[in-house]
Structure 1
């Protein structure tokens, strides 16, 4: 009997953030020999990914350990909630919910926004990090040359709700805004059209500081699909209107605007979008903030893409969406402050 062939995994490490080759598949889809960022050989352990004691201020070393790093994958709803709660109290946090049926461009929009912020293509907004950088990179991969695809594409969205985190610093003030983008499969919004009672499960809409309703530009230029696409957006707005927070802003986002511009029916299509905008305004609360955006997600960095204006809108987080600070008890010493906490006095 022939001896079994042992497959030896090469030793080494990739310098690309969020890539765990050779233990996992290369995030760029390359072989180890092709990847310019992979270093072969023995790699010294990285202390930043090991468990190590946590030193509490004023209490010396404690026995508990903290695991630094989680691989940068997209958050589940529970993980995103934990991340938000762990942020400093005065952090400005916004949740952006993308609402749209299959192939409306939700995932492509998220990937393109990440690209323009990371590359510094947004005036006045700087990339300040991400807790889900691997999740973003996975969504961007199919649109890059490394994917070896003949045309840009995006992967299928996971079956469960996922959230992506992007930290943006405003260049003029230095203020950081923490944005969490909800990425949900379009089929679940399609189910909502048939069963409006499912709206209780769309927690990202209930907590959203911004809710964007997407309509596919390809469907708008197709006379046989146009009215159905418009009607679906209006029905989604009706199904979710009771779940919107009082302070959220609403965006009507027309994707693939590059296909729409110059089309023979462009003027008529824009008039139909204006009519949809008015109907949604009448459907929602009278004081809701509502705006229309035409975007072309593949036109990265170009003014005509409309992405910069949409991001500027999402960076406006209204006060009620932020966490309120707990008042500090007043007192001359620790005992008086403790008594004020117990009695409710300040």
Structure 2
């Protein structure tokens, strides 16, 4: 679905809009495909399928995963994501029943090329990411194998923190969405906690209510880490939340009987 269609839908219904960031091979599309397969087989614990207006798109990106032999993962489960015109995001739609809250959860999530995050980090290109100003939550995907590798983790953390800082600058003084740091490939081993903590601290210092979720969209070690691990927790980040405004105009000043208005954290 195009951005205009999504905006028209949001004007009529209470929905959650998701922002997705992550470098190439971070596992963004794999997570969406795994989520789709779990929902379609009624295996997303605590949630049930209600509607999907982009079934054909989900079918297209999940085609490789449907040929997956449970005993061994193929080299390429999902195709590399490409934008049709190179400038606008394409959104996937889902409507689920949240059984715990006894309400529907409807959301739009983009399947963005990793190159968009690369150009954000390398040259601060933000024109294609303006839609982030309207999102309710941001999923920042980081390849867990990079954080587990002693030689690669420093670079991976630095790049992720650049993305956080530039996203904060893009949002300016607007109300911050929450940010979920999504560490992928959990099935390949333990994440380096100090690296995760560094990215979380960076996000918090720039005004984001940040959390971390480790996922295994698919798994080479299903006996230890089942495929789909962490995706229920990821979906729960889409539940409606109070969004936080940055602290500006902190002091109150009185002039006669009139008071200046200010913004505070809620």
Which residues of structure 1 form unaligned runs of 5+? 1-74, 322-346
Partners of 2:25 and 2:68 lie apart in 1 by 23
Q: 1:1-20 to 2 correspondence within 5 Å?
A: none
CA-CA distance at 1:104 after TM superposition: 0.6
Quick one: structure 1 residues 277 and 150, their matched pair in 2 at CA, closer, same or farther if it must change by over 3 Å? Answer: closer
Q: Which has the larger Rg?
A: 1
Secondary structure at the residue paired with 2:52?
A: coil
Match of 1:241 in 2: 168
209, 217, 225: which one aligns with 2:144: 217
Aligned length: 231
Match of 1:47 in 2: none
Quick one: structure 1 residues 111 and 204, their matched pair in 2 at CA, closer, same or farther if it must change by over 3 Å? Answer: farther
214, 234, 239: which one aligns with 1:294: 214
CA-CA distance at 1:307 after TM superposition: 1.1
User: In the alignment, is the contact (CA less than 8 A) between 1:237 and 1:280 conserved in 2?
Assistant: yes
Normalised to the residue count of structure 1, the TM-score between the two structures is 0.61
Match of 2:201 in 1: 278
Normalised to the residue count of structure 2, the TM-score between the two structures is 0.78
User: In the alignment, is the contact (CA less than 8 A) between 2:181 and 2:212 conserved in 1?
Assistant: yes
20, 27, 32: which one aligns with 1:110: 32
User: In the alignment, is the contact (CA less than 8 A) between 2:24 and 2:113 conserved in 1?
Assistant: yes
CA-CA distance at 1:213 after TM superposition: 1.2
Partners of 1:164 and 1:215 lie apart in 2 by 21
User: In the alignment, is the contact (CA less than 8 A) between 1:96 and 1:208 conserved in 2?
Assistant: yes
User: In the alignment, is the contact (CA less than 8 A) between 1:247 and 1:318 conserved in 2?
Assistant: no
166, 184, 190: which one aligns with 1:255: 184
Secondary structure at the residue paired with 1:114?
A: helix
CA-CA distance at 1:235 after TM superposition: 0.1
Partners of 2:99 and 2:35 lie apart in 1 by 17
Matched, 1:186 2:110: no
Quick one: structure 1 residues 131 and 119, their matched pair in 2 at CA, closer, same or farther if it must change by over 3 Å? Answer: same
Partners of 1:97 and 1:176 lie apart in 2 by 20
Match of 1:48 in 2: none
Matched, 1:317 2:240: yes
User: In the alignment, is the contact (CA less than 8 A) between 1:92 and 1:317 conserved in 2?
Assistant: no
Partners of 1:200 and 1:213 lie apart in 2 by 18
Quick one: structure 1 residues 175 and 140, their matched pair in 2 at CA, closer, same or farther if it must change by over 3 Å? Answer: same
CA-CA distance at 1:111 after TM superposition: 1.0
Q: Whose RCO is larger (CA < 8 A, sep 6+)? A: 2
CA-CA distance at 1:158 after TM superposition: 2.1
CA-CA distance at 1:270 after TM superposition: 1.5
Which residues of structure 2 form unaligned runs of 5+? 245-266
